Amino acid sequence: MNQDPMTSESKRVDTLLRYDPRSFPPFADVFGNDHPVEIEIGCGKGKFLIARAMQYPDVNFLGIDLVWKWMRYAVERSQKRSLTNVKFIKTDAREMVRYGAQSATVSVFHIYFPDPWPKRRHHKRRLITGAFLRELHERLAPGGLIELATDHIDYFRQMQAAVVHSGISWSRITERLNNRLFEAEAETNYELKYSAAGRTLHYLELCK
């Protein structure tokens, strides 16, 4: 039997990046092109990012998550599909944004359902603060977006307050259903789970 030299094994692309954020190369070196870069912070199992990478082959996508137990699904699924425009890195997103992302290089930060840390004494662990928004803003390209979603009303209020505390003059702030949701397959796992449970979901979009 003739064997196709491009078996699924030989076409397999390694989508897991093993850099330390402090020595992360420029995105153009990581992806081998200078296409726009979108980053998902807390990508979990990667459902949203993989669907988006398949839909937009001329955009590069980077998924960041702290927990390998979830991210391994994202890596396996993207490798199975031989996607070359999506990569994953297991690290703290705060470190990656601070040290790994260069100034004005990111077109969208997607941050969907970040851990709400509901207990008051844990609020300081929440990702979205005025200081973090300032760092994200600095890494955004002109006209770039930060897309936020949460089901947690108290965290949503904190996000709104963080926008004020950031002291940044955003060119546009909108609180409406995220545009990506008009595209099939673009819901995240938590979005599906929480909307099926009938929870109210809150969205915020910040434009540089």
Ligand X SMILES: C[S@@+](CC[C@H](N)C(=O)[O-])C[C@H]1O[C@@H](n2cnc3c(N)ncnc32)[C@H](O)[C@@H]1O
Footprint on this chain of ligand X (rule: CB under 6 A): 41-42, 44, 64-67, 70, 92-94, 112-115, 127, 188-191
Residue nearest to ligand X (CB): 42
Beta carbons of 144 and 177 less than 8 angstroms apart: no
125 SS3 class: helix
Which CB sits closer to ligand X, 76 or 115?
Answer: 115
Residue 129: how many other CB atoms lie within 10 Å: 18
Which CB sits closer to ligand X, 34 or 185?
Answer: 185
| DSSP helix, strand, coil percent of the chain (3-state; round to 5) | 40, 20, 40
Q: Which of 14, 115, 151, 154 is catalytic?
A: 115
For tokens 């940044």, name the residue.
168
| 115 is an active site residue | yes
Which CB sits closer to ligand X, 51 or 141?
Answer: 51
Residue length, the chain?
208
- Distance CA(26)–CA(8), nearest Å, equals 29
Catalytic residues: 115
